[in-house]
Amino acid sequence: MRDLGMIPGESTPTESPMWISARTRVYSDHDGAWHLAPRVRAGQYIQKGSVLGTITDYHGNLLETVRAPVSGLLLIVFGTPPVTKGEDIAVIATVPEPG
pLDDT digits (tens, 9 = 90+) for 31-62: 999 999 999 999 999 999 999 999 999 999 99
Q: With cut-offs at 50, 70 and 90, classify the pLDDT of residue 66.
A: very high
pLDDT at 96 over 80: no
What is the percent of the chain where pLDDT is above 70?
97
| In the chain, where the domains are located | 22-94
Buried b (16+ CB within 10 A) or exposed e, 14-29: eeeeeeeeeebebebe
Please state which architecture CATH assigns to domain 22-94: Beta Barrel (2.40)
pTM for the full predicted model: 0.80
Task: Decide: 27 and 55 in contact? Cβ < 8 Å.
Answer: no
Is the four-CA dihedral 37, 39, 41, 47 of positive or negative sign?
Answer: negative
d(CA 59, CA 1): 48
Closest CA relative to residue 89, chosen from 72, 70, 75 = 75
